[in-house]
């Protein structure tokens, strides 16, 4: 069955979709607070332990929220979830995967008492392979322990308040599961990542693909790009690597006077459908996914922001991504409606502030035409734990979201959050911030560094993105390097600046 980007609406991973459809595990789960942190000792992960789970939470809404059914906003650093699911044991070498969109902050997952996953980082997803733990068809018990220490200032938390009640600019906390949980059955050898970086100026698209393991013999990758019924390109390569990167020539992009129906802009957000197929050495199919991309170049010249090599005025608002009844979480229709509202009031972009947004929102920004700034949620104290946590989670976020045409800027550090003020008081903080934002060259097929937002290989250049005190965000910025100051043409010198990295080629920009 042929799928397009239109079929990805509501999918928790819209740029890598398989057929058949995914199985959503949102809904009621057993729930328990564990303020004394006794659950591990008392083996709450065992399938026959049910007594602690006296409450019911509606996943994926955090227990602090009204929509979760718990609505307890107190300090509860450890929470547990439990759900019985009917599973069919995979056959023929296939694998059964359990995906979590986001669990804040540290998660451990068990199936029938056997640990199948661990992840730290409250704003990016992870996957548990259940295959070896599913020994029969029928009911199985999934248990999740989430730890989210409200008083730990080295934990990236963004606008979540450390106080019991929100104050000043902060909001109630979001603990535990807050994005979709879903099951997927996949081939034994399958695609786990597909990334796109358009290069309109050179009439090509850079594609980076990752397999779940190293192949034991060469494999064939086939990529097909189509705009509606129009085939733009089809390319086949052989690889013996787990990660493979290559360029796809798009001849239609060579006609410089006939690009209006091809290029992605907020006014005309054309999306190209992509099919990526994996086959063995004899051509037998192993896996196939559908994806999408937008053909657009981003750059800067003489203080101007350029979209597709033309000056473009940015009409932005600050997007907090917080809902009163669901906190950081949101149902799919609310994410859709937020993007629609931004368009309806005449905006062409949003700065998603202190949040790695749900991929379902990024999909609607791609589809409806909104430029986005993606920003790492900050920690509030500097130290080794901060450096480790921010770097790891930011790397995961950029790796996941690199191919969205809507994302034009990456912001790893907001103002002076995460670092001392003034930062010069601690040399380690002074050196860490530039290392997070300084230009560097990365080499495919590895994942991007936390500071590299564009196509690789290729030169990059550093820049600062301003956080103006009065809206709207400016269309022209004067940049001073290193990333310590920036000024907007309509707002004067900015008291604080958020730093990011800008590739001088095509994928994203901070100004």
Could you read off the pLDDT of 287-326 as tens digits, one per residue?
999 999 999 999 999 999 999 999 999 999 999 999 999 9
Q: Which residue has the tokens 């929102």?
A: 361
Residue 481 CA, chain-centre distance (Å), reads 28
Largest CA distance in the chain: 69
β 23-24/181-186 pair status: antiparallel
Of the chain, the percentage scoring pLDDT greater than 70 comes to: 81
Report DSSP state, residue 441: -
Give the C-alpha separation, 267 to 265, whole Å.
5
How many CB atoms are closer than 10 A to CB 181? 27
Give the C-alpha separation, 216 to 62, whole Å.
43
Predicted local distance difference test score (pLDDT) of residue 19: 79
Average pLDDT value for residue range 210-227: 97
Q: How confident is the model at residue 504 (pLDDT cuts 50, 70, 90)?
A: very low
Q: Which residue has the tokens 């080499």?
A: 443
Q: How confident is the model at residue 436 (pLDDT cuts 50, 70, 90)?
A: low
How many CB atoms are closer than 10 A to CB 242? 14
Pair 55, 64: CB distance under 8 Å: no
Q: How confident is the model at residue 415 (pLDDT cuts 50, 70, 90)?
A: confident
The residues that bridge with 108 in the sheet, in sequence order, are 118, 145
Q: DSSP for 155-214?
A: S--TTB-SSSS--TT-B----EE-S-EEEEEE-SS-EEEEEEEEEGGGTEEEEEEEESS-
Q: How confident is the model at residue 417 (pLDDT cuts 50, 70, 90)?
A: confident
Residue 229 CA, chain-centre distance (Å), reads 29
Give the C-alpha separation, 220 to 177, whole Å.
37
β 407-411/371-375 pair status: parallel
Say if residue 359 is exposed, middle or buried (CB neighbours under 10 Å; 0-12, 13-18, 19+). buried
pLDDT of 350 strictly over 90: yes
Predicted local distance difference test score (pLDDT) of residue 461: 29
How many CB atoms are closer than 10 A to CB 32? 20
Task: Please tell me the pTM assigned to this model.
Answer: 0.86
Q: DSSP for 52-84?
A: T--EEEEETS-TTSSTTS----S---EEEEEEE
pLDDT of 243 strictly over 60: yes
Predicted local distance difference test score (pLDDT) of residue 178: 98
CA separation, residue 101 to residues 97, 107, 356 (Å): 13, 12, 11
Sheet order of strands, 304-307 included: 298-301, 304-307, 310-311
Could you read off the pLDDT of 53-81 as tens digits, one per residue?
999 999 999 999 999 999 999 999 999 99
Q: How confident is the model at residue 216 (pLDDT cuts 50, 70, 90)?
A: very high
Pair 475, 467: CB distance under 8 Å: no
Computed over every residue of the chain, the mean pLDDT equals 86
Predicted local distance difference test score (pLDDT) of residue 418: 80
Predicted local distance difference test score (pLDDT) of residue 455: 35
Angle between helices 427-437 and 384-401 (to 10 degrees): 10
β 78-87/138-147 pair status: antiparallel
Average pLDDT value for residue range 171-187: 97
Q: What three-state secondary structure class fits 327?
A: strand
Start-to-end CA distance of the chain, whole Å, equals: 43
Give the C-alpha separation, 392 to 384, whole Å.
12
Predicted local distance difference test score (pLDDT) of residue 470: 32
CA separation, residue 331 to residues 77, 107, 166, 324, 335 (Å): 25, 22, 23, 13, 7
Give the C-alpha separation, 236 to 242, whole Å.
16
Report DSSP state, residue 401: H
CA dihedral (100, 317, 297, 497) in degrees, to 10, reads -90
Q: DSSP for 350-396?
A: EEETTB---HHHHHHHHHHT-EEEEEPPPPSS-SHHHHHHHHHHHHH
Give the C-alpha separation, 278 to 284, whole Å.
9
Q: What stretch of H or E contains 118?
A: strand 114-120
Average pLDDT value for residue range 499-503: 36
Give the C-alpha separation, 329 to 68, whole Å.
10
**CA angle 155–210–273, rounded 5-degree value:** 100
Give the C-alpha separation, 241 to 238, whole Å.
9
Q: DSSP for 443-510?
A: -TTSPPPTT--S-SSS-EEEEEEE--SSSSPPSBEEEETTTTEEEETTTEE-SSEEEEEEESSSS---
Give the C-alpha separation, 124 to 394, whole Å.
9
Predicted local distance difference test score (pLDDT) of residue 365: 98
pLDDT of 450 strictly over 80: no
**What is the C-alpha R_g of the chain?**
23
pLDDT of 390 strictly over 60: yes
Give the C-alpha separation, 137 to 351, whole Å.
46
Phi, psi (rounded to 5 degrees) for 316: -115, 160
């Amino acid at each position: 069955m042929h799928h397009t980007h239109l079929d990805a609406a509501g999918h928790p991973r819209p740029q890598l979709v398989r057929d058949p459809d995914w199985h959503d595990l949102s809904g009621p789960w057993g729930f328990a607070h564990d303020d004394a942190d006794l659950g591990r000792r008392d083996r709450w992960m065992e399938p026959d332990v049910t007594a602690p789970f006296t409450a019911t939470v509606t996943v994926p809404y955090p227990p602090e929220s009204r929509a979760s059914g718990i609505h307890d906003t107190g300090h509860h650093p450890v929470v547990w979830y439990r759900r019985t699911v009917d599973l069919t044991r995979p056959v023929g070498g296939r694998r059964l995967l359990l995906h979590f969109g986001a669990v804040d902050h540290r998660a451990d997952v068990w199936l029938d008492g056997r640990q199948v996953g661990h992840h730290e980082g409250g704003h990016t997803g992870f996957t548990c392979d259940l295959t070896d733990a599913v020994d029969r068809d029928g009911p199985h018990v999934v248990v999740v322990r989430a730890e989210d220490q409200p008083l730990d200032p080295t934990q990236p938390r963004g606008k979540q308040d450390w106080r019991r009640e929100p104050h000043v600019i902060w909001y109630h906390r979001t603990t535990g599961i807050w994005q979709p949980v879903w099951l997927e059955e996949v081939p034994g050898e399958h695609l786990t990542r597909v990334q796109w970086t358009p290069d309109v100026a050179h009439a090509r698209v850079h594609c980076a693909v990752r397999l779940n393991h190293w192949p034991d013999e060469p494999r064939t990758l086939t990529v097909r790009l189509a705009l509606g019924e129009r085939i733009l390109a089809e390319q086949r390569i052989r690889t013996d690597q787990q990660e493979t990167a290559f360029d796809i020539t798009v001849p239609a992009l060579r006609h410089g006077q006939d690009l209006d129906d091809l290029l992605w802009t907020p006014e005309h957000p054309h999306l190209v459908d992509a099919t990526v197929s994996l086959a063995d050495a004899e051509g037998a199919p192993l896996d196939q996914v559908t994806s999408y991309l937008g053909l657009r170049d981003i750059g800067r010249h003489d203080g101007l922001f350029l979209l597709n090599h033309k000056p473009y005025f940015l009409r932005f608002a600050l997007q907090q991504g917080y809902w009163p009844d669901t906190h950081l979480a949101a149902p799919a229709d609310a994410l859709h409606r937020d993007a629609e509202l931004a368009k309806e009031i005449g905006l062409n972009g949003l700065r998603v502030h202190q949040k790695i947004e749900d991929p379902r929102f990024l999909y609607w920004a791609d589809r409806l035409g909104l430029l986005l700034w993606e920003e790492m949620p900050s920690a509030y104290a500097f130290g080794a734990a901060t450096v480790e946590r921010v770097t790891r989670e930011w790397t995961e976020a950029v790796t996941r979201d690199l191919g969205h045409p809507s994302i034009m800027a990456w912001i790893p550090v907001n103002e002076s959050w995460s670092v001392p003020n003034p930062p010069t008081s601690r040399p380690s903080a002074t050196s860490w911030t530039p290392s997070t934002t300084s230009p560097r060259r990365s080499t495919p097929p590895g994942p991007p560094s936390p500071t590299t937002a564009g196509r690789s290989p290729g030169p990059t250049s550093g820049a600062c993105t301003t956080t103006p005190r009065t809206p709207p965000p400016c269309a022209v910025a004067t940049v001073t390097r290193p990333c310590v100051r920036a000024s907007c043409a309509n707002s004067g010198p900015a008291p604080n600046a958020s730093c990011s990295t800008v590739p001088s080629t095509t994928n994203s920009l901070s100004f």
